[in-house]
Chains A and B, each alone.
Chain A
Amino acid sequence: MITFDAVSKHYRGQTVAVDKLSLTAPSGKLTIFVGPSGCGKTTSLRMVNRLIAPSSGRILLDGEPTDTMDVAVLRRKIGYVIQNAGLFPHRTVAQNIATTARLNGTPKDQALRIAHELLERVGLSSAFANRYPWQLSGGQQQRVGVARALASDPKFMLMDEPFSAVDPVVRGQLQDEFLRLQRDIGKTIIMVTHDIDEALKLGDQVVVLRTGGTLAQVATPQELLARPADDFVADFIGRDRGYRVLGFAEFAKGGVPLGAEPTATLGATPETLRQIATDRWVLVADSMNRPLGWADVDSVKGPLRDGDLNLSGTLAVEGSSLRHVLDAALSSPSGRGVIVGQSGELMGTVTLSHVAEAIEAARTGRMGTQP
């Protein structure tokens, strides 16, 4: 548990970067500080490990005030991850990771062993152990940065825009992997981001700050979307709030009835297709019954080829949120959303009206539990 108790920071007397911030980041949870640029996120984060000294107020780790601790000792208890990783360029990947363990008194051999284990955990093979940072991509460097913070097995972690410097595809992967990792390790984490989507995706608790370093709202992502505290928060979360709510797990429970969908295979003749078809569109699957795309019965002239397939439809994996199910239905040329199992095999299709009913049911169920 990390507690902010009326913490303020004034730079050079005038700029108020953080203004009487009071909040708690619960143990084992991922708390995200989000807000527009310059709202004091980084300043707040860096006051926890005293890279910046608060002007007033106190920060407590598990109830223990940090202002009386030796700074080096304090920092060694807290994992620290920054935007551009900040790896030591003259050290190999394994040496970089081992640093924090070494600082906490772990013998060299053991620290290097830990480093090798952590490499695997953050999704890098041990082939990377003896490379230097310049030989790594931005995303790989960031993974090493996370591993380095974890090597001392700290109870707390601070992360400042850890995934901002990489391209969107890699960012998505890093986020997913990090969520999986956090499920295993359950650290008490404060992460800073300016990206509200990242905050909603990763956070157990989201802290929205406004310019001037004041607290706008502390809430779970669901609450934030459902009940933004004021116009500032509503604006900051942006459009598509209603649609994004569908992305949360509680909307996965309402099952949408699956319809059986006949399929054709590549090479089928126009006559076969017409026999199978229930309307203009026929779903085409491979020999393992994995969906490939939709064929338009009216336009297929010869035996069905790859080039005849319409690939616009997205696939929703069984049990995923209604956001994905709805997207599958909306993007499908036939209007029927394709649902697949964990290994990609066809489970059936859903209709837009059934999805809408499920959304309606989930919505009333959820609203019903709230005053």
Chain B
Amino acid sequence: MIAWFSDPTHWTGSDGVFALVIQHLIYSGVALFFACLIGLPIGLYVGHTGRGVVLIAGLANALRSLPSLGLIVLLVILFGPVFTSDMAFIVPSIIVLVLLAVPPIMSGTYAGVAAVDPAAVDAARGMGKRPLDILFDVELPCALPLIFSGLRSATLQIISTATIAAYVSLGGLGRLIIDGRAQNDYYQMAAGAVLVGALALLVDLAIGILSRLTVSPGLTRRL
């Protein structure tokens, strides 16, 4: 396998490791972006108002139990006639990644807001802060630790599941595994798995650093 990694032709070119990593990151990033766009506001709304708690719990469970690969294939079949280009694979894959990432982000955000000290929120209301100020000055900053933990598990899921999407011809590191399987190139498959793992670790590390920079030491109790 070391031999596989030391062969420079495996790294460069349109299907080299660099290109695949970039592709993988782009798909994952786009999916994470849309998942946040959906999950964060819903989580904030439910946490702030206390309305729809049961609904989002059920929704999260339903989404978690979806079989990712089956759903991707189904969507490809459905979307196939609609799109002509690569979009026929990309759009269904990203939709599934988003569906997968929404529950941890939504639940983390909701749990974070719901766990904010009710006395702090009461004090904020009592001193005359308006609802949106309470949400953005008090509830959101205090919920950040749990929001970040939701974000981390969503990101890990996206990065690992994006690998499966290579099955329906999506680019990214999954190509090494799927193509390696087709060519019985086990070194290439193993290399793909290692790379996905390493990428997941690195991205997790990056989110960890981001959370350190944004979460108040008053919450982490770290000085």
Contact = CB atoms under 8 A, between A and B. Distances in A.
A76 B128 contact: yes
Contacts of A268: none
Interface size class of B (residues with CB under 8 A): 20 to 34
B124 interface: yes
Interface in A61-120: 71-76, 80, 82-92, 99-100, 103
A207 to B, nearest CB: 20
A49 B218 contact: no
B117 A86 contact: yes
Interface in A123-182: 132-134, 145, 148-149, 152, 158
Contacts of B64: none
A185 interface: no
B119 A86 contact: yes
A73 B122 CA distance: 16
A103 B125 contact: no
Contact of B127 (A90, A92, A100, A133): A100
Interface in B91-127: 117, 119-127
B120 A75 contact: no
B128 A88 contact: no
Contacts, number: 74
A88 B138 contact: yes
B128 A90 contact: no
Contacts of A133: 218
* B interface secondary structure, majority: helix
B219 A90 contact: yes
A90 B122 contact: no
Contacts of A80: 123, 126-127
A329 to B, nearest CB: 45
B128 A85 contact: no
Interface in B114-155: 117, 119-130, 138, 141-142
B123 A91 contact: no
A152 B124 CA distance: 14
Given A89-B117, A91-B218, A133-B218, A82 B126 contact: yes
A51 interface: yes
A279 B115 CA distance: 68
Contacts of B217: 132
B130 A132 contact: no
B127 A103 contact: yes
Given A88-B138, A90-B142, A92-B218, A72 B129 contact: yes
Given A85-B119, A89-B142, A134 B126 contact: no
Interface of B: 117, 119-130, 138, 141-142, 216-219, 221
Given A72-B128, A80-B126, A86-B119, 14 more contacts: A49-B126, A74-B128, A80-B123, A82-B119, A84-B119, A86-B120, A87-B120, A89-B120, A89-B218, A91-B218, A103-B127, A132-B217, A132-B218, A158-B126
Interface of A: 49, 51, 71-76, 80, 82-92, 99-100, 103, 132-134, 145, 148-149, 152, 158
17 contacts: A51-B122, A51-B126, A72-B130, A74-B128, A75-B125, A80-B123, A80-B126, A85-B123, A86-B120, A88-B123, A88-B124, A89-B216, A91-B216, A103-B127, A132-B216, A132-B221, A134-B218
